[in-house]
Structure 1
């Protein structure tokens, strides 16, 4: 059973709507089935012309509001729509009356035996739902408390389901995305849109957040997609951004201005504070290093970052700063004759393990500092081609490393099954990032649907932010690699391998959500997995494909989780050059522990 709360200012208009034909003629035989008095005493009488006389009912419901005067709520009319599932049995008037009374008692608005409670009625004009209307003023002149009434209604709905044997629904754990309002859906239909603007913006913001590694990267990705961005600044610190709102250029209000949606109005985990926790509380870029990144991928990532930095600056100091803004570690080599003069540099991907440093010359002849300085002094120009573009082998390496990271995260989640199922929250959350970016770069509609459906399975209950984990870091690194890798041929083995790893990942997430007794999230993960299976088939794979991992029963998964040394991908092999605790930035890649 689903309950939706609405608030209004005038009870008279609401009553006339409930007794009317409805917007689409859907109201039939409207009648009061329960209320603060006997239904027969509250039922509006019929006039000689066949119309209803609502004056007495209007007065009975509005009288308590006069006791509060200026202490009234701005919208004192409390309206609750209760609807049963299509497969539920048809309830009679007596059963709906019992449900309405239990709902009012559990919300605290009209407890049993409370003669001074608010005045209310329950109107039924359809087989599968009723409308409960109350005015928020008690007879004793006390204003009732409706704070968090939505959560009390949700708990009451679940209790009613158990009592009457109705279809079970999910608890109010704040994992569901915000649904578009009816007015938004009608506006989308009038303007010829396939979906409400809120849904479009939610998908674009979620994709930008999944692929971004910094706050600046996030806003740049939104603007590149044509989304209008409005930042909110602190009232105490002029340059401190505390929030944001987004809009589509062609979605205008009656005033002619864009209709803005804050991040929190799209989804609970898209507020700026929670996005910052996802990227890193210290503001640093999310690292792409670690055991899941091969040397070939690391070189391609570094080469791309250096090229972007070099194209955006004209001095050595700004070049180093631009590299650091992209989240790279930078070491400068200084002249022996002039200590303040920088003669070279080396860069490395941040990693919790060992760092591998690459000098500019190791990235390519055009990336040495003298060559960059010559280009800056010669009024600019892009770095020579084809080194500035990813090769097919490098792009394939990005996808392969992303699949390796997804496999590692799957193994970690399976290990959590036996140790602590609740320790996998960060990995479940980060899996959404990998799905979002995979859908974005491949353009596959099945992957897009999988990312949309999986959204609920990803969130931790009650809006909490999970503690970072190695599995979550691996999946976010996979999302970053896919974004850098860009569009790949949809029928390649790399795509099949990645989708197969994601299928195994979502199967594991569904199982751990079931162990956590979160059925709605488990169902979301299973449904998303079905879309992934269709994506694999459409890409040329099948259940017997060599790229696919064989399905394992739950017993096998638990056995893998119980194994003391879960599988993890092999770490990078040693790079060229001798090991040293103080690497020379001018001599190719070296490792520092």
Structure 2
């Protein structure tokens, strides 16, 4: 089941004529009311009557719906709210009576804040049905006490309420509610500029990838900023107004991305992703603002790289078991482990593919979506998450993978990460976070495809070239995931 919120209008009568009319393709059959606001009276008295000439008279119902608007204090210019609830194709074979539709509509509108109890002078609304698989809802946005209810954020509220109704009635949940785990999409202006300059990615997307790679391989903020500068990223620090020695934030820019006056265009961590602000990164590392400088360690030998990958694989297996065991008893610990595992996969993708954005980089980005907490929160570190983050830094320090032995060890680690992604999918499904469950499922499939024996993960190490997957397509903005 899905609810669509249509554009608001100014004429109740025109909308009613359309809904009770034949429709654009004569698809409106047997239109009738199925529900109305509390205190409206009998539905048969509200139904637009058929006159002697065979046409319906909408004046009485229109006047009832418009009465609060006419008596309200400074009503909005477009006070007519219109939505439709529709069943998924899989559920259209079942029989739904008008009474069942009335209950589902009332429950959805109550949760979304449109319908209120009889003792609350709320909005006036009606629900009408002229088909087996959907109903239309019409409301006016002025309450009976004269105040306007603007119904802000009405779409996400209706989607969440519809999802709850579908779950209670055993219906297909057509579109999961938004969970705020998707990162910010580039603005259309950024997409157009990237297209004109021949970039396959917008600067925002490229910076996000570089910042996440630096986060995964750093132990504190000083090493994080050093890694960013080593990667060719311009870094600007923001200092406290009361304590100039304290860093309170940062912004990053690409050297070739400049404004009209020639100055670099900086993006703060929060503009890249909600969990990339400096306070949340400090919480992620478990360090205080005054953390000491940590210098990167030396390059590893091939045997040491193999041993490091074996250690990471063992830690990944234990982390998958911890997530499975703590799904019901300690979800915050499972969340911390998942976030740290995303760092490990990011480090592994860079160790295998370098700057070339190949299948492991894409799998890491999808897994990162599945591992995030809601609303950009960062889970408190646990012993397991600290171990996984230590493995991420170890893999980042060991250098590029180039031989057969470390390639085989990397393949084993990729498969262990795929199995952990399967466990994460089970966790997100149990938590009813379906967008993230889908992302975890996609990450597991991508990891298995990358570890396919017929397609080795690494080849002979050529000079890395930028072959990033395009995020710019014809100058159009990529749709936001919900």
Match of 2:361 among 448, 456, 464: 448
Task: Please state if 1:109 is matched with 2:114.
Answer: yes
Q: CA deviation at 1:153?
A: 3.0
In the alignment, the residues of structure 2 paired with residue 82 and residue 424 of structure 1 have an alpha-carbon distance, to the nearest angstrom, of 36
Q: CA deviation at 1:476?
A: 0.7
- State the match for 1:561 in structure 2: none
Equivalent residues in 2 for 1:165-204, closer than 5 Å: 166-168=171-173, 174=179, 176-178=181-183, 180=185, 183=188, 187=192, 191=196, 199-204=205-210
- State the match for 2:413 in structure 1: 498
**Residues 437 and 479, structure 1, Cα contact 8 Å, conserved in 2:** yes
Q: 1:250 to 1:515 in 2, by over 3 A?
A: same
- State the match for 2:288 in structure 1: 282
Q: CA deviation at 1:278?
A: 0.6
Residues 545-569 of structure 1: CA distance to partner in whole angstroms, max 9, x if unpaired?
Answer: xxxxxxxxxxxxxxxxxxxxxxxxx
- State the match for 2:55 in structure 1: none
Task: Please state if 1:212 is matched with 2:218.
Answer: yes
Q: Which has the larger radius of gyration?
A: 1
RMSD: 5.8
**Residues 11 and 77, structure 1, Cα contact 8 Å, conserved in 2:** yes
**Residues 399 and 485, structure 1, Cα contact 8 Å, conserved in 2:** no
Q: 1:395 to 1:135 in 2, by over 3 A?
A: farther
Q: CA deviation at 1:534?
A: 0.9
In the alignment, the residues of structure 2 paired with residue 495 and residue 419 of structure 1 have an alpha-carbon distance, to the nearest angstrom, of 32
In the alignment, the residues of structure 1 paired with residue 279 and residue 136 of structure 2 have an alpha-carbon distance, to the nearest angstrom, of 38
Match of 1:473 among 386, 396, 407: 386
Q: 1:4 to 1:412 in 2, by over 3 A?
A: same
Match of 2:399 among 474, 486, 490: 486
Q: CA deviation at 1:156?
A: 0.6
Mean CA deviation greater in 82-91 or 265-274: 82-91
Q: CA deviation at 1:180?
A: 3.0
Residues 107-157 of structure 1: CA distance to partner in whole angstroms, max 9, x if unpaired?
Answer: 223436589534779999xx9999989776534233548577666434312
Residues 288-329 of structure 1: CA distance to partner in whole angstroms, max 9, x if unpaired?
Answer: xxxxxxxxxxxxxxxxxxxxxxxxxxxxxxxxxxxx51179x
**Residues 249 and 277, structure 2, Cα contact 8 Å, conserved in 1:** yes
**Residues 430 and 475, structure 1, Cα contact 8 Å, conserved in 2:** yes
In the alignment, the residues of structure 2 paired with residue 249 and residue 66 of structure 1 have an alpha-carbon distance, to the nearest angstrom, of 59
**Residues 33 and 97, structure 1, Cα contact 8 Å, conserved in 2:** no
**Residues 456 and 521, structure 1, Cα contact 8 Å, conserved in 2:** yes
In the alignment, the residues of structure 1 paired with residue 47 and residue 250 of structure 2 have an alpha-carbon distance, to the nearest angstrom, of 53
In the alignment, the residues of structure 2 paired with residue 472 and residue 61 of structure 1 have an alpha-carbon distance, to the nearest angstrom, of 58
Q: CA deviation at 1:216?
A: 3.0
Q: CA deviation at 1:479?
A: 1.1
Higher relative contact order (CA 8 A, sep 6+): 2
Q: CA deviation at 1:214?
A: 1.7
Match of 1:427 among 326, 329, 337: 337
Residues 562-582 of structure 1: CA distance to partner in whole angstroms, max 9, x if unpaired?
Answer: xxxxxxxxxxxxxxxxxxxxx
**Residues 246 and 289, structure 2, Cα contact 8 Å, conserved in 1:** no
Mean CA deviation greater in 151-160 or 465-474: 151-160
In the alignment, the residues of structure 2 paired with residue 481 and residue 62 of structure 1 have an alpha-carbon distance, to the nearest angstrom, of 69
**Residues 251 and 266, structure 2, Cα contact 8 Å, conserved in 1:** yes
Q: 1:180 to 1:86 in 2, by over 3 A?
A: farther
Match of 1:326 among 294, 313, 317: 294
Q: CA deviation at 1:431?
A: 0.8
Aligned pairs, how many? 424
Instruction: State the SS of the aligned residue for 1:207.
Output: helix
- State the match for 1:530 in structure 2: 445
Gaps of 5+ in 1: 17-26, 42-56, 286-323, 329-348, 350-387, 543-593
